[in-house]
């Protein structure tokens, strides 16, 4: 079953190793593709980070100097959850995977307008697209199952949240300075 001590241990190791991995990034010109992190048996390649970063930009999300690091952190966290899900044997059934693939294909067909336009966009047949979606969807379903196990029984009321934030010492809260913008129109008589 789910072992929180083991997951905490992995998160602590991840948080300790993450800064060293970010500092030791090789120059892009000298690298074709390389492993930037290993979580359990899963590797994260530089190309994966770049693909996710490009996807992030394509989705119109705001980009700043830390965006690539945020994308990398998200990949690390997902691989950590996937590793734990594999350890806990949270594999989805073939029927569940097939159902999710069909659901997503229906959505894409609706967005593109027809199966032919979808195949033209991906430059693959529907069967090839289904095969390509198989592994990522299986991984997503495993991660979702693990997240549901972790947070499924958590119930927090608004009062508990309010109490938690009221109990934080005021010297621990960040100072946010107030900003004002004043404009004045002056008209001389």
- DSSP-assigned letters across all residues of 10-74: HHHHHHHHHHHHHHTPPPGGG-SS-EEEEETTEEEEHHHHHHHHHHHHHTT----TTHHHHHHHH
Residue 169 main-chain phi, psi, to 5 deg: -60, 140
Taking only the tens place, the pLDDT of each residue in 115-133 is: 999 899 889 899 999 999 9
Mean pLDDT on 176-188: 77
Question: How are the residues of the chain apportioned to helix, strand and coil, as percentages rounded to the nearest 5?
Answer: 65, 5, 30
For the cut 90, the answer to whether the pLDDT of residue 95 exceeds it is: yes
Euclidean distance between CA atoms 17 and 133, whole angstroms:
31
Mean pLDDT on 44-70: 86
What is the pTM (predicted TM-score) of this model?
Answer: 0.62
């Amino acid at each position: 079953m789910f072992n929180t001590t083991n997951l905490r241990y992995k998160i602590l190791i991840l948080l300790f190793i993450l800064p060293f991995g970010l500092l030791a990034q090789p120059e892009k010109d000298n690298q074709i593709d390389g492993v930037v992190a290993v979580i359990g048996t899963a590797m994260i390649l530089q190309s994966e980070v770049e693909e996710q970063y490009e996807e992030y930009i394509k989705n119109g999300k705001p980009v700043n100097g830390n965006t690539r690091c945020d994308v990398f952190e998200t990949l690390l966290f997902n691989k950590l959850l996937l590793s734990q899900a594999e350890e806990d044997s949270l594999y989805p059934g073939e029927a569940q995977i097939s159902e999710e693939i069909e659901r997503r294909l229906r959505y894409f067909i609706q967005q593109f307008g027809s199966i032919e336009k979808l195949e033209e966009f991906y430059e693959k047949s529907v069967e090839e697209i289904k095969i390509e979606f198989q592994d990522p969807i299986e991984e997503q379903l495993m991660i979702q199952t693990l997240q549901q196990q972790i947070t499924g029984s958590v119930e927090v009321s608004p009062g508990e949240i309010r109490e938690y934030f009221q109990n934080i010492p005021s010297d621990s809260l960040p100072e946010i300075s107030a900003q004002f913008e004043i404009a004045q129109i002056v008209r001389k008589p």
